[in-house]
Structures are given as C-alpha cells and as structure tokens.
C-alpha cells in the first residue's frame, strides 16, 4: 500500500493551518526553510505537529537530527514514509482520546479512516468513507 498520499495530505494540513503556507506554494521541490518560510523554532513546532497529526514518535535524537537536515518538501515526505516502513507500525498506533491500541490498521487508512471501537473516536479527516 502506498501511504505517501495520506502523509502528504497531513503534512500539507500542518503547513497551511499552523504556518499559513499557501497550498499552492507547496511543491515537491519547495525548500522547507527558504521557500516555505520555516525557521528553527518552526522546525521544532513542525516536528511536534507531525507527531500529533500522524500519531508517531520522532523524539529519538537521531530522528530529530535527521529531520532537521531535510531540505525539500519531498525529502520530508520520503523521510516520513521511510520511518513508517522501518518501524513497521501504522501511523495511528493508539487512540488519541482513550489510549486504546486497537485501531484500524494502515490498510484501511486511506479508504476508511481510523476509529476506536473502545471509545468511538473517529479520525474524520483521514479521507475516504469517514471524511
């Protein structure tokens, strides 16, 4: 399954909502820090927003260091896809509301979204049927 479109949608949402970047300015070759205007403080906030939006952990020193070295939007996407593949975990590994670990797996992410049978939480912005 190609998870890149899901990641792309989420990263674009962060850039437009948090940092006011115009959707039209976000292209694969866009330089995150020069073309999109993020500075060093924004980098920290961006990483934290990625963790929250994608429900992943990028807190390891090596991951944070690697993340700050990425130059273009496409490099960021490829890093997140690679991190996803090497961890072997779906992006949403536990419910952000109740902490239950029994969410839908990544194979249904793009078409059905995610939901938690324990508390009823639904990721209504995931795409597909829930969106």
Tens of pLDDT, residues 1-46:
577 888 899 999 999 999 999 999 999 999 988 899 988 889 889 9
Same domain (yes/no): 20, 46: yes
Q: Which structural domain range is residue 16 located in?
A: 4-87
The answer to whether 122 and 108 are in contact (CB under 8 A) is: no
Same domain (yes/no): 83, 99: no
Tell me the two tokens of residue 42.
């924004």
- Note the pLDDT of residue 51: 83
- Note the pLDDT of residue 70: 85
Q: For residue 57, give the nearest of 12, 11, 92 by alpha carbon.
A: 92
For the entire predicted model, the pTM comes to 0.66
pLDDT per position as a tens digit, 68-103:
788 899 999 998 888 776 554 445 556 667 766 655
Same domain (yes/no): 23, 69: yes
Identify the bridge partners of residue 72 per DSSP, sorted by sequence position: 31
Q: What is the 3-state secondary structure (H, E, C) of 12-61?
A: HHHHHHHHCCCHHHCCCCCECCCCCCCCHHHHHHHHHHHHHHHCCCCCCH
Q: How many domains does the chain contain in total?
A: 2
């Amino acid at each position: 399954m190609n998870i890149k479109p899901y990641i792309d949608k989420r990263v674009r949402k962060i850039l437009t909502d948090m940092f006011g970047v115009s959707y039209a300015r976000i292209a694969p070759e866009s330089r995150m820090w020069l073309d999109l205007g993020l500075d060093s403080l924004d980098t920290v906030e961006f990483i934290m927003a990625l963790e929250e939006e994608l429900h992943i952990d990028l807190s390891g020193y090596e991951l944070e260091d690697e993340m700050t070295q990425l130059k273009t939007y496409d490099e960021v996407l490829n890093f997140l896809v690679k991190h996803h593949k090497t961890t072997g975990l779906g992006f949403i590994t536990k419910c952000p509301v109740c902490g239950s670990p029994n969410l839908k797996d990544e194979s249904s992410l793009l078409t059905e979204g995610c939901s938690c049978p324990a508390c009823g939480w639904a990721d209504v912005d995931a795409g597909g049927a829930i969106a």
